[in-house]
Amino acid sequence: KKIVLSAIKPSGEITLGNYLGAIKNWIGFQDEYECFYCIADLHAITVRQEPRLLRKRVLEILAIYIASGLDYTKSTLFVQSHVPAHSEASWILTCNANMGELSRMTQYKDKTAKLKENTSISAGLFNYPVLMAADILIYNADFVPVGIDQKQHVELARDIAQRFNSSYSDTFTLPEAKIPENAAKIMDLQDPSKKMSKSDDNQNSYILVLDPPDVIRRKIGRAVTDSVGVVNYTDEQPGVKNLINIICAIKNVKPDEVVASFEGKGYKEFKEYVAEVIIEELEPVQKKANELLTDKSKLEEIYTEGAMKASYAATKVLRKMQKKVGLLPPV
């Protein structure tokens, strides 16, 4: 079986962007591939987190994973920091990555540009893609389902893998990004020129998977549109285009069909429809996730089992890496 790995970092609560761009697409891989789905808490701490909130979110994400249809009896669901091989492999790969390629990463450039002046930038943020390369390579993942925003990082993982393979000897599978057609990128509701992000300061810019229906209606109602007043699918109307993309990703329909069904109708009606589509999609997920969150011991059981399975796979590759670079066998 081919291997799939993907992750979400608990740097905020899970957004509709994460759900449509990532989780929803992961579900279909479970029968065909051996899947590892991770909660990347070590990636989250590249930016300062409130410790109590971080712990809470990790459990929430696990609950959302399961509630969305990830099956822990088929796939390995685990927390990154529970598998020390990620950190260990990351160091070895850091020594095989170079400053130049890391400086070219657009996510790093965007994130640092967004930080307020005089905020110090952690070396972890710079090294983020190397840790991600470790996440991918220690499972010998063939496919990494991600949104388009993460494609560059997967390509870097591939470059690092190729370099390591040719400097030492064949060690890693070369991973490929798998980008969903429909939901490649969900945009910010307040500024549709940038992607929807869970760590945004403005709560109106995103829909959270656990947002109650009235909050979803309010946020969609406030979503920025334009003065054209006609539902069209065009780059000139990025706000409306984004809402159409959301519908298409959820309902699996084509933009033209959505446009046709709103001919002669205004934005108010259109937005009400968008909100109902989102609510209908998220309600069952919320119900199941909230149920799971009432029994923390079951979630602990699931992530403990996941950590064991993931460690088993990852440690095998890590040992190879250690040996090839010349470290003594572990004692």
**Residues in contact with ligand AQP by the rule CB under 6 A:** 7-9, 11-12, 15, 17-18, 21-22, 40, 146-147, 149-150, 183, 185-186, 195-199
3-state secondary structure at position 5: strand
Amino acid at 47: V
Q: Which C-beta is closer to ligand AQP: that of 9 or that of 86?
A: 9
Point out the catalytic residue in the list 56, 74, 109, 111.
111
CB of 280 to ligand AQP, least distance (A): 20
142 among the known binding-site residues? no
Q: Which C-beta is closer to ligand AQP: that of 81 or that of 199?
A: 199
Secondary structure (DSSP) of 192-257: TTSB--TT-S-GGG--BTT--HHHHHHHHHH----SS-S---STTSHHHHHHHHHHHHHHT--HHH
Point out the catalytic residue in the list 56, 109, 116, 195.
195
Residue with nearest beta carbon to ligand AQP: 21
Active site residue 198: yes
Active site residue 324: no
CB of 103 to ligand AQP, least distance (A): 18
C-alpha to C-alpha distances, 277 to 198, 247, 261, 290, nearest whole angstrom: 21, 7, 14, 20
Report the C-alpha dihedral over residues 10, 12, 16, 20, rounded to 10 degrees: -20
CB of 319 to ligand AQP, least distance (A): 27
193 among the known binding-site residues? no
Active site residue 111: yes
Would you mind telling me the total number of residues written for the chain in this entry?
A: 331
- Six-digit token string for 81: 């920091």
CB of 263 to ligand AQP, least distance (A): 28
- The closest alpha carbon to 44, from 8, 86, 10, 17, belongs to 10
6 among the known binding-site residues? no
Residue 330 contacts residue 322 (beta carbons within 8 Å): yes
Amino acid at 108: Y
284 among the known binding-site residues? no
3-state secondary structure at position 46: coil
Q: Which C-beta is closer to ligand AQP: that of 178 or that of 319?
A: 178
251 among the known binding-site residues? no
Q: Which C-beta is closer to ligand AQP: that of 97 or that of 183?
A: 183
Known catalytic residues?
A: 111, 195, 198
Binding site for L-tryptophan: what residues are annotated?
Answer: 135
